[in-house]
Copies of this chain bind each other. A is one copy, B any other.
Amino acid sequence: MPVSPPIITAAILAIGDELLSGRTKDKNIAYLAERLTECGIDLREVRIIPDMEQAIIAAINALRQSYHYVFTSGGIGPTHDDIMAESVAKAFGRLCLFDPRAEKILSAYYQAQKQELTAGRRLMTRMPEGAELIANTISGAPGFKIENCFIMAGVPQIFQAMVQEILPLLEKSAPVQTIIIPCPLGESRISKKLGEIQHAFPQIAIGSYPQICDKAGQRWRLEIVLRGRDHEALAQAAAAVKKMLADFEEET
Contact = CB atoms under 8 A, between A and B. Distances in A.
A157 interface: yes
B211 A155 contact: yes
A192 B217 CA distance: 52
Nearest to A42: B20
A130 interface: no
What is the total number of copies of this protein in its complex? 2
Given A23-B178, A155-B212, 20 more contacts: A17-B227, A18-B209, A19-B33, A20-B45, A21-B34, A22-B31, A22-B35, A22-B36, A29-B48, A46-B48, A47-B48, A77-B191, A79-B187, A79-B194, A80-B191, A80-B194, A81-B207, A155-B211, A156-B212, A157-B212
A20 B43 contact: yes
Give the contact-size bracket for chain A: 35 or more
Interface in A203-240: 205-212, 217, 225, 227
A70 B178 CA distance: 32
A120 B212 contact: no
Contacts of A217: 138-139, 157-158
Nearest to A210: B155
Nearest to A189: B120
A46 to B, nearest CB: 4
A188 B120 contact: yes
Given A118-B188, A187-B77, A44 B50 contact: yes
A207 B118 CA distance: 21
28 contacts: A19-B46, A20-B33, A20-B43, A20-B44, A20-B45, A21-B176, A21-B178, A21-B227, A22-B30, A22-B32, A22-B43, A25-B30, A45-B55, A46-B49, A47-B47, A51-B207, A77-B191, A78-B187, A79-B194, A80-B199, A120-B188, A120-B192, A123-B188, A138-B212, A138-B217, A155-B210, A155-B212, A158-B212
A119 interface: yes
A47 B79 CA distance: 26
Contacts of A211: 155
